[in-house]
Structure 1
């Protein structure tokens, strides 16, 4: 039993490192426009839109998106939380601060990804990446106020940065009694921190930028 437990713990540590490498590979392959390397980070039958599946469809979509919107990009990764649902499946949250050259403007962005990872034939892949944006704005125009998604040539709109987590709305929708100590909920169970934060919130609909 001790040996099996040690093997499981080692497998978990190796999986965490491989998933973190997966995320780093995503950023550099996208920024350097190696689309074959990029789409091979996803499960072979990755869903693309409502009706299409496969890396070929994903490559076609990424190619069109990059050529139509961006001259260059740079993705800077922040904190990365990973939790396992079983030995071959995990979820994660990754912060990303991005820069985009788009026409005459330099657009900066803050966002997070909600990821689903799957191990297939011994290797970890993206099963899904859900991008949730806080703001996108010209470098010289701070995104103060509402409608923080401000792409050149488009009407501003709200991002979905906070929509995965109901605590944001709850925080601003209530004012605690300053005369009484607040209640504190029990800590989230091990490997359930992210799921507890979600509180069964459905995934938001993401607008294509």
Structure 2
């Protein structure tokens, strides 16, 4: 592994971690800048694509509105693997444990835990890595009412 590959791997790890950090702080305007301008997000539930978001504006609108009901959002990033296609394209897989907290109509706290596997395509533009496409595979979830 040469110095450039090490630098690229660190940059891609930071890219994936920033996605989670900005989600947790609901800084969706910063989060969407991690995607290429024509970036794509495929949401996958039960092995099927349930919807697709094309472009930063669609991603921003969906991400912003989907977090409105939650008083707390927490991502714990797990392992990440990366394979390089060439100097400006790479594929990666990253795992996240996600916790979402909200209050339901009866005043009870609802905690949802999810296991998410992100399958990404990355592109390096002007020396910076971006997410070109993300397959967000929601593998499992549990919900507790307190």
Q: Unmatched 5+ residue regions in structure 1?
A: 1-7, 141-209
Which structure has more RCO (C-alpha within 8 Å, separation ≥ 6)?
Answer: 2
Q: 1:122 aligns with which of 122, 127, 135?
A: 127
Q: How many residues align?
A: 132
Tell me what 1:98 maps to.
Answer: 98
Tell me how large the CA RMSD over aligned residues is. 2.2
Measured at CA, do residues 77 and 57 of structure 1 come closer, stay the same or move farther in structure 2, by a change above 3 Å? same
Give the TM-score of the pair, scaled to structure 2: 0.81
Alignment check: 8 A CA contact 2:41 2:136 kept:
no
Q: Which runs of 5+ in 2 are unaligned?
A: 43-50, 104-108
Q: Structure 1 residues 45, 75: CA separation in 2 closer, same or farther (over 3 Å shift)?
A: same
* CA distance in 2 between partners of 1:82 and 1:112 (Å): 14
Please report how far the alpha carbon of residue 53 of structure 1 lies from its aligned counterpart in structure 2 after TM superposition: 4.0
Q: CA deviation at 1:22?
A: 0.3
CA 1:112–1:51 in structure 2 vs 1: closer, same or farther (change >3 Å)? closer
How far apart are residue 87 of structure 1 and its match? 1.1
Query: Is residue 108 of structure 1 aligned with residue 109 of structure 2?
Result: no
Shift of 1:115: 0.9
Q: Distance in 1 between matches of 2:100 and 2:53?
A: 28
Partners of 1:117 and 1:125 within 8 A in 2: yes
Could you say which structure has the higher helix fraction? 1
Kindly indicate which of the two structures has a greater share of residues assigned to strand. Answer: 2
Matches within 5 A, 1:45-84: 45-47=38-40, 53-67=54-68, 69-84=69-84
